[in-house]
Amino acid sequence: DQQVKQNSPSLSVQEGRISILNCDYTNSMFDYFLWYKKYPAEGPTFLISISSIKDKNEDGRFTVFLNKSAKHLSLHIVPSQPGDSAVYFCAASRYKWGNEKLTFGTGTRLTIIP
Amino acid sequence: GAVVSQHPSRVICKSGTSVKIECRSLDFQATTMFWYRQFPKQSLMLMATSNEGSKATYEQGVEKDKFLINHASLTLSTLTVTSAHPEDSSFYICSAPPGDRPHTDTQYFGPGTRLTVL
């Protein structure tokens, strides 16, 4: 039972344009959401997070939007850069604490076209 | 930022042997560490939560006798894959929240270990 889903396994975006990665979840107990970036044969790197009490969080080129009623979140990257090419995972947890276990989505491979 | 290391980065072994993977927090203490497994083109699946000084907590469907976890110190957790078989071939990743900041909102991930069982 995949509680966190990323329905687009891959996405290609022109450099300089906006990249939008989507994520859906089914467990209403999830209260905290994170996005990670991952290169092959490396561990994930934390990008940005959002608590369920918010609907938007912004950090530089990265913005995460949360629609709790739809159980949907998205990551916007603007402008997209070649170094953004990687696999992006969304993750969810019940609490906003680092020692709470994470449930990961299936990942979206983002390719930025120069 | 906090650094988590794993050793080895890559291991190839014969079917039936046991393999130990180490996860170390280099510049912080971690009372909790997590072990994940990732199959090709799939999600990271949590296997178990490693707790310093106590028994690990395993996720449903994960064989605790096959995947032995020991968290003997605040900076080291080990995962031993016992009697490994080809279906155990995977990418194993550990993570840890900084223990001195237990309410920090992120975990730090190790670089992963690629296990190939022949």
Label each residue of B57-87 as H, E or C.
EECCCCCCCCEEEEEEECCEEEEEECCCCHH
Residue with the bigger pLDDT between B28 and B5: it is B5
**Residues near A23 by beta carbon (within 8 Å), at least 6 away in sequence:** A4, A5, A6, A33, A72, A73, A74, A75, A90, A105
Give the model's confidence band at A15: pLDDT under 50 very low, under 70 low, under 90 confident, else very high.
very high
What is the mean pLDDT of the segment spanning B53-82?
A: 93
What is the mean pLDDT of the segment spanning A34-40?
A: 92
Which chain B residues are Cβ-neighbours of A87 within 8 angstroms?
none
Residue B99 has pLDDT above 70, yes or no: no
Tell me the percentage of chain B whose pLDDT exceeds 70.
92
Lowest-confidence region among A82-86, B95-99, B101-105 = B101-105
Report angle CA B16, B72, B7 to the nearest 5 degrees.
55
Nearest to B47 by CA among B16, B81, B4, B76: B81
Cβ pair A49:B44 closer than 8 A = no
Distance of CA A16 to the CA centre of its chain: 19
B51 in contact with A at a CB cutoff of 8 Å? no
Look at residue B42 in the predicted model and tell me its pLDDT. Answer: 84
The SS3 of residue A13 is strand
Structure tokens at A66: 């949360």
The SS3 of residue A82 is helix
Mean pLDDT of chain B: 90
pLDDT tens across B34-49, in order? Answer: 999 998 878 899 999 9
Q: Are A5 and A23 in contact (CB under 8 A)?
A: yes
Cβ pair B105:A32 closer than 8 A = yes
Residue B1 has pLDDT above 80, yes or no: no
B104 in contact with A at a CB cutoff of 8 Å? yes
Which chain A residues are Cβ-neighbours of B98 within 8 angstroms?
98
